[in-house]
Structure formats: C-alpha cells, structure tokens
Amino acid sequence: MRRLKLLFWMLCVVSFGSASAQNPTQKIGHLDTQKLLTLMPEAKVADQKLKDHYKELEDELKTMQIEYQSKLEDYQKKAPLLSDAIKMAKEKEIRDLGNRIQEFEGTAQDSYMEMSQKVQQPLLDSIQKAISEVAKEGSFTYILDTSAGNVLYFEGGIDVLPLVKKKLNIP
C-alpha cells in the first residue's frame, strides 16, 4: 500500500513537472489603443482630413437643400398662375431634386466611411506592427487592448503603452 502511494505521488510530481515545462509562465501585457491613437501626431492629421471631407460633404448637401427650398418656395408662389403642363414640369423638377438629395445623403455617408477607413488604416497598421515588435522583444504571450471593453478584469500585467509609444517615436 505504501509503495502504491509513493508511486502515485511520484507520477503526480513527474506529470506536474512535465506539464509546467510545456507551459511556461505566460507574460501578459495591456494597453489602451484609443489613448495611443490620440497621442499620435499622424492621428491629428488624419482627423483633420476627415473633418475637411465632412465639411465638404456638408456644404454640398446644404447647397442642394437651399436650391430645393428655393425652387419649392418659387413654385408655391407661382403655382396659381402656371399652366398644368408647367406645374407638372416644376413638380417633377422638385421631386427629382429631392431624390438627388436623398441619394447624395447615402453616397456622402459611404464616402465619409471610406475616407475614414483610408486615413485610419495606416495608423492602425503601424500600431499593430509596433505592438507585435514589443511583444516579440518582451517575450509577451498576450497583449490585451483595454480600450475595446472586452477585458472584464485584469490585475497586474504590464502596461506596454510606454514601450509601444517609444517604438512609434511618440514623446
């Protein structure tokens, strides 16, 4: 019986030893990518490009809306004096302009999203590259993004934000 217990404990020790050798201590880091983005000078340039593009789209939409309102008011004033054929033509013109405005709103939204992707993707790529380099250099098993809100709890770990900032030459 004693031999059986001794054999059992020896197997446990050997099994635990080999399991821990296969799974060394994991090194976990974390950073807030949104905070990192706000610190990047390139992000400010990208943000300004987006604001300029938004303003351009907004100005075009306002111009179209002003034209629509003007044509509608003009039609309403002159409608009693117009022949049926001219009324129908004016109504069609106003409807067509309204449809163009609605179409432009959809196109403008797509254009803004496309521009957003275009200016932000290089930033995200450089952040990912820097994180990968820091992870390899620091022998990290995982680096978690705390800005995504998916990490419900963590204690300890290493904040790699300063290392990634250094990699990206951000003061």
Q: What whole-number distance in Å separates Cα of residue 71 and Cα of residue 140?
A: 65
pLDDT of residue 161: 85
The number of helix segments (H) and strand segments (E) in the chain equals 5, 3
Of residues 159 and 6, more confidently modeled: 159
Residue 139 falls inside a structural domain? yes
Domain count, the chain: 1
| pTM of the full structure | 0.69
pLDDT of residue 25: 79
pLDDT, average across residues 142-171: 80
Stated as kind and residue range, the H or E segment containing 49 is helix 41-78
Contact 31, 159 (CB under 8 A): yes
Stated as kind and residue range, the H or E segment containing 59 is helix 41-78
* The pLDDT of residue 129 is above 70: yes
* The pLDDT of residue 1 is above 70: no
pLDDT, average across residues 111-120: 96
Of residues 52 and 159, more confidently modeled: 52
Residue 21 falls inside a structural domain? no
What is the band of 59 on the pLDDT scale with cuts at 50, 70, 90? very high
* The pLDDT of residue 116 is above 90: yes
pLDDT of residue 153: 65
Residue 111 falls inside a structural domain? yes
What is the band of 55 on the pLDDT scale with cuts at 50, 70, 90? very high
156 contact partners, CB below 8 Å, separation of at least 6:
28
Surface-to-core class of residue 140, CB atoms within 10 Å of its CB (0-12 exposed, 13-18 middle, 19+ buried): buried
Nearest to 61 by CA among 21, 18, 109: 109
Q: What whole-number distance in Å separates Cα of residue 98 and Cα of residue 68?
A: 7
* The pLDDT of residue 39 is above 70: yes
Residue 20 falls inside a structural domain? no
Residue 18 falls inside a structural domain? no
Residue span of the structural domain in which 118 resides: 27-167
Least confident piece of the model among 23-27, 102-106, 122-126, 127-131: 23-27
CATH number for the domain harbouring residue 77: 3.30.910
Mean residue pLDDT across the chain: 85
Strand partners for 31 = 145
Residue 10 falls inside a structural domain? no
How confident is the model over 10-22, as pLDDT tens digits?
Answer: 444 444 444 444 5
